[in-house]
Structure 1
């Protein structure tokens, strides 16, 4: 460890360096070399400064050994001692420059005493250096620990404070200041009461007095601080009271953890739980989990109360005992398949709760381990007893309704058949008198050619009226014909039908100049015969009502409207007033005078019947003198 830099006077710094010197900083050979130089230099000085016969021959070499020990340690110091002894005995002991001794005993004891003395001195120096090194290491460890404690206090993720018993601060870390929003200088001028929520202050002081009275060694609780910006900060506060050796309270240590996010999460969790419970109540659901190994079923969030279940925890045996006997095999089979991963658990069955059998629908999903084995099931149970009762009632009503519909259908069919027979009978019975009237009128005209003009006019009116009556009867039969029979939908080319009909109209009236435009590729799935009659009526109307229009034009086209194809027949003929359009599709109702345009008023009524039989609609738009447009669809509009 690096010793601290020496301070003080130069002499103090020198002694400090000597005290802090560490021999093992250099290699052993470097230290031995330095000891060799110091010892030889000391020996030279001893020889040069005093004669050999003078006393104190070991003093100078003792100093060299001490310096060598200080520099190089115990082994180097002993090396200098032995080397010094050799030099002294060789140079300063008679006979000089030899290792022969006049008094060997004296020389032995003198050298032994010097060796023991130097061993003690060098050992003491080495021991001092060792103790000094240990002291330096301990001091460094203390400094390091102190710094770590300082770092822990200042850089900790939680707020920490030391305060006197009266609440005055001793020290505050930055985290605590950041939590409350004040600077450290501002905090040191404040008391903790200044930013403690008023509702929490009394509880805080009560806990503190309990600790002060030695009732508890420390305490912890949640409290609210008022941030500098005004919002609340939730904190988990831990207070410890530090006492003197005498037992008297000394100061307070507080550790403060910001739990605002945790509180928000708890509130969100409570809100979520409340919403989940409300959702369960509104939906009539109970959520549960099951341990596949132990076969225990436990409802969650108290949702068993929603369904009126007797308890929150069931074993599979208890549930099977409550299950209707007819449903048990299915329940056990479906559960086994779901646990094995061979099917889903989605089943309806009956359970006995509250003294009655109630229907429940149960669904579950399984959590599996790395080997695919089912570990836990999460599911929902819903009471569908009322729905089941409604289904039974609906089924009963449907059966009754079907029976009544069959009865009504049979009665309606009988009435329809009777009406059809009546219509044919009336038509046949009406035709016969009309033929007689028309025949006798013609006979009168032929047998009495000399009748006056008025009489002939009367006969012609009779024949015209009978003819008109016959046409009306035919129209009624035609209208009733299109309202019965089975609809046969097949691909129909409307473009080809329109072109053929317009060519036929042009062939019957070659004197007329009518232009027409038929959009190619108009196709539909419809009854061919009925579509033929529909196009016949609409095109005949267009041809008829353009008779007095110069440069007459008829157009057949299609348009898309809301995903539905509509086919249109448009002309630039006489048109009509839309204020009278309510009568347009009623049988025998006409919007023009008979002398203007012929007809019975049955064509558009027939067209509407045909379109309605195809589940479509027929719409008209027109203006007097500007023509008319009839658009129809042959299928009902579908919604996604």
Structure 2
């Protein structure tokens, strides 16, 4: 402001100097030049600056051009008063008019600027909107289209100008769009909203929400159309996915016999989802807690309330089974629920599933009844089997005792005849020796039968057993009783198992005795005892490189009194392997053999419960 006043002062001083220089003081028009200075000052600085120039100019004129000159003493005060007064009034009008015009011009410029800014903002809003926008003539020709609209359908602005909206509207949706447009043009409606599909330039369908409005001329005639288009493809895909999920949930509920539900903990309302209450034949889709409790079997209500309260507090999971009475029918349900909680940990909502388990419960009761019946039948069968075993044992001992007595008599009389008749020779003595040998053989067979019977009964006492120690001791005994044999034997250390020690020793006794016997005719005999793991189970093996046998006859291998070699080749009764199999089977294991004539045999067995070394 100070600068404007200084400028106004200089302009006024300059105008005063020109007035003094151009005409004498006595000439008229003292204030003409000063009026111009005030007008210029007002144009430059506004009303106050113009009035400042007016007052300063009046001082200059009265000092310089009014007699007496160079003083403010005035000869004719009346004349001076009227001259100054009219000059001041004139300048007020001039400066005020100038100021008023300046304000009007300023307002006009501001209005013009605001209009231009608004037009630009409107243009920017149209062009850069995230929603597709377009203006078109009534006949469908485009007036303008923004870039979002172009991007939505994949065409450039130049390409769209050669097309109509009918060209890229899906054929199935065109009829609806045109019907609504016709109603708008007739004046039935001012605008309409529809969901429709555009065909993208690349061929895929684009779902949009279209809002179309008609702008009319002042006379009411249709002028142009405004289209606002929003891409809703993603939301449509979400809706489709939701419908698919609901349909799959409904199908899953039907297949599994489930009802899905949610509950508002505050209002205590239970609502089933996707009509799943029909799956369980529930009376309605929504229940209050009192209504649901009224359906609950009286014996289960206290349990249900207790578990629900604990689950709401977060003290336990809600996973229970209880009964509902539906249309007079008692049915069992399994119910599970999880809770949504707020920031303070308070339960807000429960999401759960309910499954009808009535059939399962009925089957469980039937199984319990069947188990009770089976246990009773097993006990009866066990008693019967025990009685049969006891009877068989008594029979075996009785038979053995009754058979041994005649054998002893036969053998005794044969020995007496041999001693009383030393002169007998040839065929008679041969007959006596055959009688004595047959009676001895018969005794061994009776002992084998008793041994086989013994290993098939009695209680099994499992204890830690070191098979390596037993095998080593047995082989050392065989070596000491048959010192002329040169046999190389190998026993893998640390072969341990949980088994009955006496039975395992008898098992190894039979297998190692067979290996020792059937390798007797092999010059460099080798016997091995080792373990191998097959399908996670430990198997113990005894192998030799002796006579072996033909695997085609292996089906007779473990049958009592069945032998694969002639008696003159290898002595024996054929009871050892049958006894060994009985011992292995009593331990819950199995036994298998592999062999080849002249190349030895391998017998492997498992005892069901191997113990790591």
Shorter-normalised TM range: over 0.9
Which residue is 1:5 aligned to?
Answer: none
* Aligned position for 1:6: none
- Correspondence 1:276 to 2:276: no
Report 1:527-606 matches (<5 A): 527-606=500-579
| Residue 633 (str. 1) matches residue 603 (str. 2) | no
Q: Does 1:489 align with 2:457?
A: no
Partner SS state of residue 588, structure 2: coil
1:132 aligns with 2:102: no
Q: Deviations over 1:256-288 (max 9, x none)?
A: 111111111111111111111111111111111
Using the TM superposition, give the Cα deviation of residue 563 of structure 1 relative to its aligned residue in structure 2, in angstroms. Answer: 2.0
2:443 corresponds to: 470
Report the counterpart of residue 231 of structure 1 in structure 2.
Answer: 204
- Unaligned stretches of 5+ residues in structure 1: 1-27
d(CA) in 2 for partners of 1:282 and 1:49?
116
The range that moved more, 28-37 or 517-526, is: 28-37
Counterpart position of 2:123? 150
Instruction: Answer yes or no: is 1:509 the counterpart of 2:482.
Output: yes
Contact 2:336 2:352 in 1 (8 A): yes
Counterparts of residues 324-403 of structure 1 (less than 5 Å)? 324-403=297-376
SS of residue matched to 1:556: strand
Distance in 2 separating the partners of 1:303 and 1:266: 20
Cα distance between partner residues in 2 of 1:68 and 1:494: 129
TM-score by length of 2: 0.96
Which structure 2 residues correspond to residues 94-173 of structure 1 after superposition, within 5 A? 94-173=67-146
Secondary structure in structure 2 of the residue aligned to 1:289? strand
| Corresponding position of 1:439 | 412
Instruction: Tell me the residue number matched to 1:24.
Output: none
Tell me whether 1:458 sits opposite 2:431 in the alignment. Answer: yes
2-structure distance, mates of 1:103, 1:557? 154
Look up the match of 1:78.
51
Give the count of matched residue pairs: 610
| Alignment partners' CA distance in 1, 2:124 and 2:235 | 26
- Is the partner of 2:330 in helix, strand or coil? strand
Per-residue deviation at 1:636?
6.5
Instruction: Name the CA distance, whole Å, in 2 between partners of 1:599 and 1:67.
Output: 150
| CA deviation map 1:176-218 (0-9, x unaligned) | 1111111111111001111111111111111111111222221
TM norm structure 1 = 0.92
Give the distance between the partners of 2:477 and 2:467, measured in 1 at CA.
15
CA distance in 1, matches of 2:76, 2:563: 171
Report deviation, 1:227: 1.0
Residues 592-639 of structure 1, C-alpha deviation per residue, up to 9 Å, x if partnerless? 2222222222111111111111111112222222222222211169xx
Structure 2 unaligned blocks of 5 or more? none
1:621 aligned residue (585, 589, 594): 594
Classify the secondary structure of the residue corresponding to 1:166. Answer: coil
**For residues 536 and 99 of structure 2, what CA distance do their matches in structure 1 show?**
106
Task: Name the counterpart of 1:50.
Answer: 23
Q: CA RMSD in A?
A: 1.6
- Taking the aligned partners of 1:124 and 1:621, their CA distance within structure 2 comes to 131
Distance 1:580 1:124 in 2: 139
What is the CA distance between 1:48 and its match in structure 2? Answer: 2.0
In 2: Cα distance, 1:113 partner to 1:579 partner: 152
* Residue 335 of structure 1, CA deviation: 2.0
Pair 1:321 & 2:269 matched = no
1:130-156 CA-partner distances (Å, limit 9, x unpaired): 222222222222112111111111111
Report the equivalent of 1:292.
265
2:14 matched to 1:41? Answer: yes
Q: CA deviation at 1:540?
A: 1.3
Q: Identify which of 252, 274, 278 aligns with 1:301.
A: 274
Q: Deviations over 1:298-339 (max 9, x none)?
A: 111111111011111112222222222222222222222222
